[in-house]
Amino acid sequence: MLCLWLLAPAVARTEGLNLPPGSAHLSEQSVDQSDLQTFYQALGGSRVWFDEQGEPFLQRQQQLEAWVMLSYEQGLDPQTYGLKELSAGHLARMGPQREYWLTQQFLKLARDLNGAAQVGSSDSQWHFVNTRLGVAQLAQRLAQGETVDQLLRSLLPLAPEYVRLQTLYRDLLRQQSAYVPELPLPDQLIRPGQRHPVVPQLRRWLIWQHWLAPVSAVDNPEIYDEELVAAVREFQQRNGLKPDGILGPETGAAMQRSVTDRLQQVRANLFRWRALPRQLGNQYVLVRTGAYNLDLVEQGQPIQRHSVITGQPRRPTPSFAASIRRLTFNPYWTVPFRIAVEDLLPKQQVDETYLTGKQIDVLQRSETGQWHEVASSEVDWSGLSRRNFDYLLRQRPGPGNSLGRMRMDMPNPYSIFLHDTPQQHLFDESRRAFSSGCVRVYRIGELAQRLAGEEAIAEGLAQPDRRYLSLPTAIPVYLVYLTTWVDEAGKAYYHPDVYGRDQALQQVLGPIPQAPAAELVKLARNVIKK
């Protein structure tokens, strides 16, 4: 048994099924009146929550209430879907409108499980279209015998990573009131092998947080020994920090992050997942731009994982979907206008040999509209600026080309693509927001081999000139600002909010929703076997 209205279902009968326009109960809700009409029209006027005599359809009502109860585990607020009002007294006072009131709660919850409009409203670089809820389809599926539980469950993302992230969120919720040993920040850097009075507290904290196995005794408790260093390195690696084992201010601050802070970060990423298409495809590439990595996913499982370099904060990589359609070997790099005038032009103005040294050609448009090459020495660089720069800069293929040996072409309005890079040393950094928006991929050749075959890639790279290779099937690519993720082994990774988008979304979402009473949560789980 859940709320009182399920304990005593014999309340006032539902009479006619005409929608009451202007009703106070209905006008306060965020579901459009047209959606409500569409829903019941698709049902042919049939009721969903009560029969013609006003008796409740208990299974539907109980499952709806259970999902409302447990919506907090998805980062949603149960109060948004009428948790407080789900009592016999409130429903009885609604009279005939209670049928529609319950439908509104159902549609609101379905809409928020199916998408997340808050993501786009808080992020100007979010270019995924929020999926509109198919209200008529929901009604038809109910009429065909699907349960409320089946319908709501089917709206969540299919990707296993969402399930793992949602499990992490639920685990963190349980830790909110748990005791955590105090960990004071050291007054200096603690390097491997050094002695410091904070080390015993560090050991205790690492054991309590399951980063280190318990030990019965330690010979030198104040020595920062190899066992502690290994645990700290793993902590650093999974928190987006340089895994050097040195205990300093950044590592200490990450250790002192509250559970609430981590919950907010995970919650923001749950909302982003729900704002993506529910079905990503049988084979696709997922680029976590906030975590600096890329997965090639096949049948829901990651086959390859690559480190990536993404856009710097002043030139962030946007979030959008595209498809890899062909590979370009030994590509030319056509320099985007912004990079040309903001980065290269000032360097050329200081050193007139800069562009020549970088193998960058200068092209000018003729009267016929064709681009033709002009000598760099013939251009008056000192008189150029953003306002009058009408040249095109293009870097020739070669070992110093900014795109490396390969580019993965994925047509999109943002001029973003995946490519190689000659600056391989940058992949050693833990925070890799160095590009001007495009995504540089570590060992991109291995990814290309999986998509096109080893022989085709070897043949393309064997030639010094530019060549193209069309893929037999376009491969979907999703570039998404994800700063928290959980791998297949259940390990959670947190990364700093380099673009500030987590913070912006958290401000829109508000505080972490409170869970209903524990006994009600337990009953709700029993209802939907969750």
Active site residues: 419, 438
Closest CA to 391 of 402, 382, 379: 379
Task: Decide: 490 and 474 in contact? Cβ < 8 Å.
Answer: no
Amino acid identity at 395: Q
CA–CA distance, 15 with 98 (Å, rounded to integer)? 10
Closest CA to 236 of 244, 225, 228: 244
The tokens for 141 are: 């599926």
CA–CA distance, 389 with 502 (Å, rounded to integer)? 37
Amino acid identity at 307: S
Compute how many other C-beta atoms are within 10 angstroms of the C-beta atom of residue 211: 17
Q: Could you give the 3-state DSSP secondary structure of residue 376? A: helix
CA–CA distance, 300 with 319 (Å, rounded to integer)? 21
CA–CA distance, 8 with 6 (Å, rounded to integer)? 5
CA–CA distance, 160 with 168 (Å, rounded to integer)? 13
Strands (E), 148-282: none
Task: Decide: 156 and 274 in contact? Cβ < 8 Å.
Answer: yes
Burial 298-326 (b: 16+ CB within 10 A, else e): eeeebebebbbbbbbeebbbbbbbbbbee
Strands 418-419 and 283-288: unpaired
The tokens for 331 are: 């590509």
CA–CA distance, 499 with 360 (Å, rounded to integer)? 31
Q: With the CA atoms of 152, 158, 159 and 164 taken in that order, what torsion angle do they form, in degrees rounded to the nearest 10? A: 30
Helix-, strand-, coil-residue percentages of the chain, each rounded to 5: 40, 15, 45
CA–CA distance, 60 with 456 (Å, rounded to integer)? 56
Task: Decide: 483 and 269 in contact? Cβ < 8 Å.
Answer: yes
